[in-house]
Amino acid sequence: MFSQFHHHHHHHLFTLPLFLFFLLPSAAADDRTALLNLSSAVRGHTRRWNQSDPTPCSWFGVTCDKTTGQVIQLRLPSARLSGQIPPNSVGNLTHLRVLSLRKNALSGSLPSDLSSCNELEKLLLPGNQFSGAIPAELNILTKLRVLYLENNNLTGSIPNLNNLPNLRKFNVSHNNLNGSIPSILNNFPSNSFLGNSLCGSPLPVCPPASGGSGGNDGNKGKKLSAGAIAGIVTGSVVGLILIFVTLFIGWRIYSSKTTPRQVNMSPRPPASPPPEIEIRSPKPTFVGENSGLRNRDVGVVVQSGGNDGLVSFGNLDFSLEELLRASAEMLGKGTFGTTYKAYIESEIETEIEVVVKRLKNVCVNETEFREKVESSGVLVHENLMPIKAYFYGTEEKLLLFDCMPMGSLHSLLHGEIATSRNRGIDKAALTWEIRSKIALGAARGIEYLHSIGPNISHGNIKSSNILLIDSYDARVSEYGIAQLVSTNSTLILNGYCAPEVTNTHKISQKADVYSFGVLLLELLTGKAPTHALQNEEGVDLPRWVQSMVQENQAIDVFDPELVRQQNREEQMAQLLHLGTSCTTQHPDSRPSMVEVSRRVNEICG
């Protein structure tokens, strides 16, 4: 039966992929054209889009469906967009699910062709200068769950949105809207409608319509005559005059009976100034880190005053206030501070996860801090972990990064932290192919940093700063932070630091090479450098490997999980030799990162 089914129906299995083969490139090209139409009109950060790219899927703020290649999310909050959204732009993204253009300077009418975006679930346009009416066509978007239009200049009444059964969040506050709130929206809180001339539940009831249809005779009976009104006004004025005259006479009689007293007109002491109120920058305080809520150590980040000083290097769908309200999981404490994973309940409804590095002992002033962080924040390379945003306050200095699904190389190698994504992954899964891929990615990231200039170095290369994505591609993180903080001997004694380093603010590129060499040895041996320092001999990892090689016991150096794999001994030995070359005692004897990256590629590529 199976063979008969296969014989009669196998041609259908090839029909659909062949159809998609011709359809998908055309659809992706249409999306690209639509975004270019938008970019030409609103500019801002859309100028970062590389118009020579065949698809827009790698463009800033754009997310595509991995299967179809069509645009499903366009997130450009605080992207300095201005002007009007033209037709045949956003409205042509027919598979769009999320549109976030909040906190820009967009003007003109809301695009009516948004009704073509049948898949739209979240429409976030607050904090712009949109004017005109709310398009009634939005009622066609039956999948819409979030509609935020607050802080614009919209006018007219709210259309009847009775065809949006999935609408869960709604806000049109602080516009110029008027009229009655449609009954279908009565269940939303009153602050969703404030700052307008609206009425009806959940706001106060609308006043009854004025005017009746009676004749003149009826109106005469209900109105006061002009003479009656004049009499009332005259009587009121005379009564007030009599009251004032009586009070004045009584005051004069009382004054004449009172003995005059000499008053000492000494200078009035100056009014004491009100107590000075110290306005501090927001201070996030993580508490209850061991509460264990939702199977993670959760703390609450509490804001204590100040303005939003969160500086973003790109797409940021939350504010400082939302960040400081987030629950947080402490990932670890390091030389430069404490790292948390924050879970942000943002306005886009879904929970956003972001890594927050809370720096300690920052030793540079605000200007230098901002210059150094911003020079690092603009670096773009596929093997660098970009800085997402930063905050500089009086007491708090924060760096923000995206979460990496697989965590760090350290947690994967040594199993000290089991995240929800790498739980269940043991060292047996770290094959030679995976380890060599990680080594090559890390080498390329560090090589790129060194290519910027001869004085540019990472300063703190270690396995916990090598982050991994789903495909085990490596991302080098926390580059440049060593120049911002003052450290004690902790960094020098972490097992990665080159022997010549005495000042952690002046770590050379050759010292980076030494640290990368230790990282290679860690990948091959499966041993953490800090553990090697604590063994009975007190010998660091490079010297232990070197002594084992000299005693012809190199095979005992390798991680047993690697030894079990066949036909990799020569490549493992070559990479081990490269690791020992990088960790020689004399800096001038170490290769450059260009040479190291090339050699790793030859061995592992």
Annotated binding site for ATP: 357
State both tokens at 546.
Answer: 């070197």
H helix intervals, 257-387: 320-324, 366-377
Q: Which two tokens stand for residue 170?
A: 């709604």
Kindly tell me the sign of the dihedral angle through the C-alpha atoms of 481, 485, 491, 497: positive
Contact partners, residue 336, CB within 8 Å, separation at least 6: 357, 359, 360, 460, 478, 481, 482, 484, 485, 487
Q: Residues within the annotated binding site?
A: 357
Exposed, middle or buried: residue 605 (CB in 10 Å: 0-12, 13-18, 19+)? exposed
Q: What is the CA radius of gyration of the chain?
A: 35
Is residue 113 within 8 A of residue 93, CB to CB? The reply is: no
* Contact in structure between 431 and 446 (CB atoms under 8 Å): no
247-252-257 Cα angle (round to 5): 130
Name the packing angle between helices 541-550 and 569-582 (round to 10°). Answer: 130
Q: Token pair 């948390």 is at which residue?
A: 340
Which region, left, alpha or beta, applies to residue 150 given φ > 0 means left and ψ of -120 to 50 means alpha?
A: beta
Number of Cβ atoms within 10 Å of the Cβ of 173 = 20
Q: What share of the chain is helix, strand, coil (3-state, %, to 5)?
A: 35, 15, 45
Both tokens of 460, joined, read: 């703190």
Closest CA to 459 of 372, 564, 396, 528: 372
Q: Where are the beta strands (DSSP E) in 473-598?
A: 474-476
Closest CA to 516 of 548, 556, 476: 476
Alpha carbon distance 574, 385 (integer Å)? 28
Neighbour-count burial for 207-219, b at 16+ CB within 10 Å, e otherwise? eeeeeeeeeeeee
DSSP assignment, residue 278? Answer: P
